[in-house]
Amino acid sequence: MGGIIFSVVTGCSYAGGAAQKETVENSPTVSRDSTYKAVVREGAGEISFPTDQYESSAQGYLLETSAMYLDLALCLHEKGMPSYWAQRENIGPEENRRYGRWIMSNAESHAYVLVPDKELERAFQWEALFNAEHEDVLSSEQYEKAESECLDTPSPDLMDALGGPPLPDEISKIGNQTYDLMLASDDAAAVFADWEVCLNEAGLERVGDDDPYGIVGVDYSVASEQSIKVAVTDVACKQETDFVQRLADIEASFQGPVVKKYEAELAELHAFDEKVTENRKAFLNANAAKGEALWKP
């Protein structure tokens, strides 16, 4: 363990056109319903799909992770091992980059580089300091044994998260397929074509299908004057063509029929998740002070 690093879910990034097309070709035929739409919140950098209303939010995942690490830290302390915990209350600033960069303020400040997350940076700093201070113990067999025992025996207050209603297999599959199905659709091709025309008029060239959001000649690792200029033009073209909303709505149209089919099962799952969330909040409220008192840098 060493330290407490809170992992969060950021936006998806494209991983290669060939893999997506192969997945779609090997998938069963999926129906569509264009009355289902995605909700795009530019101010928060969020894109919500029909299935999201039944799944834990990013804040929910943060709550889950925070409670799990607090439980682990307290258990290690009880076994006489060094441990610490630092509560992370917020996720952000964040931008769901499922369709590339699309928030103008981020393009203007960071080009294509990830927006810094000060709370996560603090967590990494704390971990490094904690590891340096307790290096000998953390590498010992006794610590490894204690950590393994703690992970195998979570607090009864958190055990309620194990045993909820199973997610329908078809829902699990459609959640993984909708991005691929979107990319393979004629509707998406039209969206990309509109965006590409805008880019070309601004003197930019799109990479192509192997990197659908890539632009030729851009260094994505730095926020240089040139990369910022390209990113701003890119986002402006996405805004002009309603790029993000149109692609997200295509994905939503593939999810809609499956969500409708399993509405009762998903409602049951959502109710269970809400109960678990309240229990995690109660666990954190009851034990946060103990966790924060374990160690400070």
pLDDT computed for residue 211 by the predictor: 93
Radius of gyration of the chain from its Cα atoms, rounded to whole angstroms: 22
Of 3-12, 26-35, 249-258, the least confident: 3-12
pLDDT computed for residue 122 by the predictor: 85
The single-letter code of the amino acid at 277 is T
Residue 215 to residues 22, 166, 197, 208: CA-CA distances in angstroms? 24, 42, 13, 8
The single-letter code of the amino acid at 94 is E
Of 18-22, 163-167, 288-292, the least confident: 18-22
DSSP letter for each residue of 179-200: HHHHHHSHHHHHHHHHHHHHHH
Q: What is the mean pLDDT of the chain?
A: 86
Q: If you average pLDDT over residues 200-209, what whole number do you get?
A: 94
For residue 218, give the nearest of 234, 242, 241 by alpha carbon.
Answer: 234
Which tops the pLDDT comparison, 263 or 163? 263
pLDDT computed for residue 213 by the predictor: 97
Give the integer Cα–Cα distance in Å for 34 and 254: 8
Q: What's the distance, CA 120 to chain centroid? A: 14
pLDDT computed for residue 15 by the predictor: 34
pLDDT computed for residue 135 by the predictor: 96
pLDDT computed for residue 19 by the predictor: 39
Give the integer Cα–Cα distance in Å for 259 and 261: 5
Q: Are the CB atoms for 241 and 194 separated by under 8 Å?
A: yes
158, two tokens: 């958190």
Between strands 206-208 and 46-48, the pairing is: unpaired
pLDDT per residue over 254-268, tens digit each? 999 999 999 998 888
Of 52-66, 166-180, 229-243, the least confident: 52-66
pLDDT computed for residue 77 by the predictor: 97
Question: Residue 211 contacts by C-beta under 8 Å, 6 or more apart in sequence?
Answer: 14, 17
